[in-house]
Amino acid sequence: MNLLSTDNSFYRYNISNSHDLSESCFNRRQSKAQYNNKKSFFFNIESKLEDPTLARDFLSSHLKEKDILCCTIETHDAFYKSVEKTKYVLLIRQASDLPFLLEHLKTIENVLLIPTNKSDLASFTEFHKTHNDKLNIFWRFLPFSENTPQSLTVKDICSTHIDYKTITGLEIYNPNIPHHYELVPQSNISYKIRWKTQSKNPENIRISVIIPTFNNSIFLSNVVWHLIRQNTSQDLYEIIIADDGSTDNSSEVLFNLYHKAFDGQVNITYIHWSKQHPQRGEQNFFRPGLCRNLAAHYSKGNYLFFLDSDMLVPNNFIETCLNEFTQTDVMQFQRFHINQEKSLQNPSYKDIQIEKDTYIEEKNYWSQLFFCRNWSDLPDYWKYTCTYALGIEKKKFYELGLFKKYYISYGFEDTDLGYEAFKRRLRFSLVKVPLLHLTSYDLMQYKNSASKRYTLLKVTAELFFLQHLQPELLTLFGSFYRSQRSLKFRLKELWR
C-alpha cells in the first residue's frame, strides 16, 4: 500500500466505542464517504476499547483492500496484527512515546507523527533524521492554540527544514470544529429541494452553473435573470442554487419570478440547507464550499461552473464556457466590481460602462491575473484560483476531492482546490471576458474591512498550510503567518 499515491482518497473513521462498530454507523459513514468521493476508510483507534475482540471482528469484515488502520501505543498491541504492515500506521503524539516505537520497529512500517509543542517537535525531528531511511514517516500538525503551552506556529513547523511527508488523500483534522456541526448534509433532514423547473430536453445538459447564496435575494434574482437570457439553447445548461439557510425568503422571491414564467424552458433547481438542524441544533457557520459540494451532488452536466450570487454574466457566457472547456481543465473569468452606488440600483450587465462604473478590488494583486497573457505563465499561478467564477470538469472536481469540509470560515477553500489542480498538472485558462460583481458592503463576510478580512484569512491560511506542509507556502502567504503568537501569549510563555 503506497500512502503517497495520488490515487488515495480516505474518509476518516474514528472508533472510540461500540456504537462506532454498529452496522448503522458504518452504513451512515460509508454514505458520507461516497458523497465526498472518498474511496477508502482511514480507521482510527486512539483509545482503549472495552471489547477489543468486537473491534477486531468488525475490522475483519469491513476493512477493505485500500483501507488503512491507525492506532496509538495504547491500542497497538490489540490491533496491529489485524492488517498487513503496509496498511498499518502507528500514531505518535508525544516524545515520551518514542521508546515504545523503537522497541516495536520490526512490526511497524508506517509512522504518523503529530507533535503539539516545540519540545516534541525537536524530539521528533531528531528521530526523523535518524530513522527516515528505515520507516515511512508521515507528519501532521494541529492548528496553533494559545491554550496549549509551546503550541506550534507555521514558522515553528518550517524551522526544522524537514521535507515533510503527509498521507496523500487524507484531510487534516480540525479540532476547532464543534462536534454538532454538520459537514455532510442529509437529504430531507437538514436540506430539501424547494422547487425545480425543467427545459424541454434536460437530458442535453452539459454545464451545471452552481450558485451558493445567503440572504441575497435581490442580487441573486438579477444573476439568475442574466443566466436565463443566454444566446444558446437552454437545454444545454442548468442553474443550481444552494441556499445556505437564507431567512430573506430568497426561495419564494425566485419562485415567484421564475417558476411559472420559465417552467418548461429552463433548468433551475433550488436547494435550501437550513441553519437549524433538527438533531444537531444551530449550524451558524460559513458553508459556501459545502453548499457547492451539495449542489455538485445533484448536478447533471459534465462540467461545473461555480458562480457567486452577485456576479453578472454577458449573454454569451454559456457559449463561451462550452468553447473554453474544449481546451482547458480549469477556467476563470476576469472580474470587475461595480461601484456600490450603482450596484444598489441592481443594474443589468449591458448598462455598465467598465471604465466609468467599475473598479478592480485589490488591484495590485488581481491585475496581474486579469491582464496577463497566459494564466499559467504567472509565478505560483494556482494561487489566483477563486470561486467568484470558476469552471472545472465534474469528473476532475471529484478527483480533486471537492471543497475540503474543514474550511468553516472565510477564505482559502478555493485556493486549496487550485493547488490540488496544480499538483495534478491540470490546465488553467483565464477567459478575458469581464464578469461584473455587484457590490454591497453589508453582504460581504468582512463588511469591506481590510483588518477583518485579514483576521478571517489568518485562520484559513493556516489550515491550508497544515494540509500541504510545503515550505514555499510560508513564503507565498507569510503575512498571514506573522505574529501567530500574541503578545499576551509570548509573555505567558516567558513566565513559564
Q: What is the pLDDT of residues 45-104, one digit of tens each?
A: 998 898 999 999 999 999 999 999 999 999 999 999 989 999 999 999 999 999 999 999
| Beta bridge partners of residue 389, listed in sequence order | 307
Question: Strand 10-14 to strand 40-45: parallel, antiparallel, or no bridges (unpaired)?
Answer: parallel
pLDDT at 447: 80
Give me the pLDDT at residue 106, please.
87
pLDDT at 226 over 90: yes
Q: What is the pLDDT of residue 496?
A: 56
Which has more confidence, 165 or 187? 165
Between strands 311-312 and 237-243, the pairing is unpaired
Neighbours of 379 (CB within 10 A): 7
**Given a cut of 90, is residue 127 above it in pLDDT?**
yes
pLDDT at 488: 57
**Mean pLDDT, rounded, for 271-280:** 94
What is the rounded distance in angstroms from the CA atom of residue 191 to the CA atom of residue 176?
Answer: 24
Local confidence band at 140 (pLDDT 50, 70, 90 cut-offs)? very high
Contact 449, 349 (CB under 8 A): no
All structural domains of the chain, each given as residue ranges with its CATH number in brackets, are 191-445 (3.90.550.10)
Question: Mean pLDDT across the chain, nearest whole number?
Answer: 94
pLDDT for residue 445 is more than 70: yes
Cα separation, 317 vs 56, whole angstroms:
55
- Residue 332 bridge partners (DSSP): 390, 430
pLDDT at 38: 95
Confidence of residue 123 (pLDDT cuts 50, 70, 90): very high
Give CA angle at 328 (327, 329), nearest 5°: 145
Cβ atoms of 130 and 111 closer than 8 Å:
no
**In the structure, what pLDDT confidence band is assigned to residue 403 with cuts at 50, 70 and 90?**
very high
Q: Is the pLDDT of residue 493 over 60?
A: no
Mean pLDDT in residue range 410-416: 97
Residue type, 354: I
Cell of residue 327, nine digits: 481546451
Query: Can you list the pairs that 83-92 forms with residues at least 24 positions away whose Cβ atoms lie under 8 Å?
Result: 83/59, 84/1, 85/109, 85/110, 86/1, 86/110, 87/1, 87/63, 89/3, 89/138, 89/167, 91/44, 91/46, 92/124
Residue 482 has pLDDT above 90, yes or no: no
Q: Which of 428, 416, 422 is nearest to 392 (CA)?
A: 428
The burial of 394, by beta-carbon neighbours within 10 Å (0-12 exposed, 13-18 middle, 19 or more buried), is given as middle
For the ranges 324-333, 378-387, 403-412, 444-453, the lowest mean pLDDT is seen at 444-453
Q: How confident is the model at residue 360 (pLDDT cuts 50, 70, 90)?
A: very high
What's the CA dihedral at 285, 288, 308, 457 to 10 degrees? 70
Q: In angstroms, rounded to a whole number, what is the distance separating the alpha carbons of residues 138 and 4? A: 10
Q: 243: pLDDT confidence band, cut at 50, 70 and 90?
A: very high
Bridge partners (DSSP) of residue 241 are 211, 270
| pLDDT exceeds cutoff 90 at 489 | no
Burial grade of 103 (CB within 10 A; 0-12, 13-18, 19 or more) = exposed
Cα separation of 214 and 444, whole Å?
11
Percent of all residues in the chain with a pLDDT value above 70, rounded to a whole number: 98
Give dist(CA 402, CA 400) in Å, integer: 6
Around Cβ 75, how many Cβ atoms within 10 Å? 22
Q: Average pLDDT, stretch 352-376?
A: 96
Helices (H), 67-111: 76-79, 98-103
What pLDDT sits at residue 492? 58
pLDDT for 341 equals: 95
Mean pLDDT calculated for residue range 364-375: 96
- Report yes or no: 205 and 300 within 8 Å, Cβ to Cβ: yes
220 to 217, 237, 271, 321: CA distances (angstroms): 5, 18, 14, 20
**Residue 487 pLDDT more than 60?**
no
